[in-house]
Chains A and B, each alone.
Chain A
Amino acid sequence: MAINNNAGAITTKRNAVASNQVVPSDLPDKPVVVIERRALAPDLKELWAYRELLYFFMWRDVKVRYKQTALGVLWVVLQPLLMMLIFAFIFGRVAGVKSDGVGYPLFAYAGLIAWTFFSHAVTASANSVVNSAGLITKVYFPRIIVPVAAVGATMMDFAISFIPLALMMIFWKVRITPYLLLLPIFIIIVVTLALGVGMFMAALNVKYRDVGLALPFMLQLWFFASPIIYPLSLFQGKLRWLLALNPMAGIIDGFRVSLYGYKSFDWPAIGFAAVIAIIFLVFAMYRFKRVERNFADLI
């Protein structure tokens, strides 16, 4: 058979392919996906639809974190424990900081695990988006999942750090009070605050890599400004009022009180912290959504 041009030969072959195609005829009336400049409101429905991916991201972070470390999960326990020992020596022994009647190690450890969670969660989520550049430039999913998953994965460490706490409480024979029932409230507030701060920093980090450098310093300052290794009662007057503006003050104090029940809750401080945490989270979500549309171009 002689064919006079090459293109003709290709066409014949392709027609054979086309006749084999099974063409679906039942298309939905409404588009499944509409691509246009999106609205600014966070799309919670979509976030729900991607919950499995959120779970997989958290699962990945948890798995990967300890894969090549010799001590593995022990690090989670060791970090606040060692810090506690150092501070117990410096502040408890040498400086003789009063700790509201709770043994200093217990006092410091409770504050330290809450703070360690907060600071790790904020750091992880602040860096999460930039670290996911490879994903963000190649595949679509609601970007907000990334910082949320980073906070979620850190919660695993938080849970583990309760084990030494429980042992210490047994060792020092701490009496459990009904206050303990309120512990989840403080966990929720600290998670909310970490989500808000982390998400805000993550959005900022995409454009300004300064965040990665400034954040450790900022957290260090925040650490000393929070009543973690000292009680708020150490300060009086104006300075105390100023320190109480820090939402972490109310959270850490409430967290500790619910564990040890050594005094009554400071409800105004707790309420203030909760309101700040919620406001910040909502603000950060809008902020994130605003910057999100340019992530793939900026990152």
Chain B
Amino acid sequence: MKPIIKVEGLGKQYRVGTRSPQFATLRDSISAAVRKPLAALRANGDTEVFWALRDVDFEVEPGEVVGVIGRNGAGKSTLLKLLSRITEPTTGRAELYGRVASLLEVGTGFHPELTGRENVFLNGAILGMRKAEIERKFDEIIAFAEIEKFIDTPVKRYSSGMYVRLAFAVAAHLEPEILIIDEVLAVGDMQFQKRCLGKMNEVAKSGRTVLFVSHNMRAVAQLCGHCIWIDSGQLMSRGLANEVVVEYLSSVQPETMDGLITEEMHEHEAPELSFRRVELLDENAHSTAISYFGDPLRFRVEFEVLKPLTQARLGLVIQKFDETVVCAVQHTDAALDLLNLQPGRYVANIQVDVPLIPGPYYIALFAKPHGGYWTSPDRSLDYIPHALAFNVEEVSAQGETVLPTNALVYPVSRWTVEGFNHH
């Protein structure tokens, strides 16, 4: 079939330094111009260039819903920015055989001083809708957002939930042939997120072509038929979503095999308490990436306390590869206190008895200053969203057991069945 998106040799180059928003001043330019003759003498390749995306080729057929995955900084956002024409490519070209709308965030162009009604029109126009089109869909948008009562209130008085609902409602009523979406679903309360996913599903089924960038492997697996995996600005793989997702996740694994927690693995800076290493141990206390079904999971976590802490709460979250949370455990589960921690290195040994269904998993590590649970929104001391990946494998000797793959755990259960005869 004829493709609706045709990308040929697409590339985007940044000069290092211009990529981040630096304030250049006239003075800098003038002084650079004075030094230029010298710089030209010194070396030709002095300015470092960086290819955010290089020689990317792919085609998307009409009606396909394609997920774009990859690590942070792999070039996903650059690809989206190029396809939504926010920035120009350095090389190559892309042809789109249909009207495009891109949603890199919800509520682009919303003005706090304007009312909900006014913002619907403004935002709709920014996203490429005609005025007549917005008028036609207006009631539907308001109903979807559930803000009928506040439609003539300035949006600065909206709760963040209302704001996001209205913004998403406008976006959801776009009718382009090609829709480019960047993780806009990661907003709003759970219930609204569900409705957004529902709406996305509807869009996906309506025959529209969708490019969907996400870190949420579960959303990708649920929504997308196909998947593109980008790493270091290059196309690594393109195929069925579940295959590419597994391929991607297994590539992430070796990096964390040695258990060292590198700087970029931290969600934010951790000046007080910082995780250093995490390992999964086999029964001989050797580091491993494989656990056998039914065996207890033994983790060894090293962390460093950098400033004296009166209290800390440590924990780990076990997640399936698609980000479904299996369980979370904390040191307080063992009736243990961590009080008055002095600077230094610490080692925690954790054993979790959870019979995980065979498959790929990973763990997240968190440290909270005091009572906070891992999902609580207060500040954390440190948080490593992808600390360690491991596989749970089936023990062949177990033979008989057939494990249900749509479950997360296969717990030990104790049964008694008694019989009563009809007499």
Binding site for B on A (CB under 8 A): 2-11, 14, 17-18, 20-25, 27-28, 31-38, 52-53, 56, 59-60, 63-64, 67-68, 134-141, 207-210, 293-294, 296-299
Contact = CB atoms under 8 A, between A and B. Distances in A.
Given A24-B62, A63-B118, A35 B85 contact: yes
Contact of A24 (B86, B177, B205): B177
Contacts of B25: 208-210
Interface stretch (B123-131, B158-166, B374-382, B383-391): B123-131
Contacts of B81: 296
6 smallest beta-carbon distances between A and B, as pairs:
A31-B95, A140-B85, A36-B93, A23-B63, A22-B207, A35-B94
A7 B96 contact: no
B170 interface: no
Interface stretch (B142-150, B238-246, B341-349, B363-371): B238-246
Nearest to B320: A6
Interface in B64-103: 81-90, 92-100, 102
A296 B87 contact: yes
B242 A21 contact: no
Contact of B26 (A11, A208, A299): A208
A16 B121 CA distance: 37
B370 to A, nearest CB: 36
Contacts of B308: none
B23 A139 contact: no
Contact of A64 (B62, B86, B113): B113
Nearest to A292: B88
Contacts of A32: 96-100, 177
Interface residues of B, number: 74
Given A4-B405, A9-B406, A32-B177, 7 more contacts: A14-B242, A24-B207, A31-B96, A35-B95, A60-B122, A63-B118, A297-B19
A82 B83 CA distance: 51
With most chain B CB atoms within 10 A of its CB, the pick from A11, A36, A68, A299 is A36
Contacts of B404: 2-3
Given A11-B242, A20-B205, A141 B126 contact: yes
Nearest to A8: B405
Nearest to A136: B86
Nearest to A293: B88
Contact of A35 (B82, B114, B126, B359): B82
B109 A22 contact: no
A5 B29 contact: no
B31 interface: no
26 contacts: A2-B404, A4-B402, A9-B405, A11-B242, A23-B62, A23-B63, A24-B207, A27-B2, A31-B96, A33-B85, A33-B95, A35-B89, A35-B93, A35-B95, A36-B94, A37-B88, A56-B122, A56-B125, A60-B111, A63-B118, A135-B109, A137-B86, A139-B102, A139-B109, A297-B14, A297-B87
B108 interface: yes
A275 B346 CA distance: 77
Contacts of A27: 2, 4, 62, 97-98
Given A35-B82, A52-B125, A134 B99 contact: no
B301 interface: no
Contacts of A68: 113
B296 interface: no
Contacts of A23: 1, 61-63, 207
B205 A56 contact: no
Contacts of B372: none
Given A7-B242, A138-B86, A64 B114 contact: yes
B84 A140 contact: yes
A130 to B, nearest CB: 11
B419 interface: no
Contacts of A208: 24-26, 29
Contacts of B207: 21-24
B295 interface: no
A138 B101 CA distance: 11
B86 A140 contact: yes
B225 interface: yes
B251 interface: no
Contacts of A37: 88-90
Contacts of A207: 24
B204 interface: yes
B18 interface: yes
A132 B111 CA distance: 11
A21 B95 contact: no
Nearest to B81: A296
Contact of B23 (A28, A64, A209): A209
Contacts of A31: 6, 95-97
Nearest to B20: A297
A21 B242 CA distance: 19
Contact of B130 (A52, A134, A209): A52
Contacts of B125: 52-53, 56
Contacts of B29: 208
Contact of B121 (A2, A3, A56): A56
Interface centre among B25, B225, B405 (most CB of A within 10 A): B405
Nearest to A15: B225
A85 B85 CA distance: 50
B111 A6 contact: no
B95 A3 contact: no
Interface in B23-65: 23-27, 29, 61-63
With a 10 A CB-CB cut-off, give which of A33, A136, A210 has the most chain B CB atoms. A33
Contacts of A60: 111, 114, 118, 122
Contacts of A138: 86, 104-105, 108
A34 B95 contact: yes
Contacts of B82: 35
Given A56-B125, A136-B86, A28 B63 contact: no
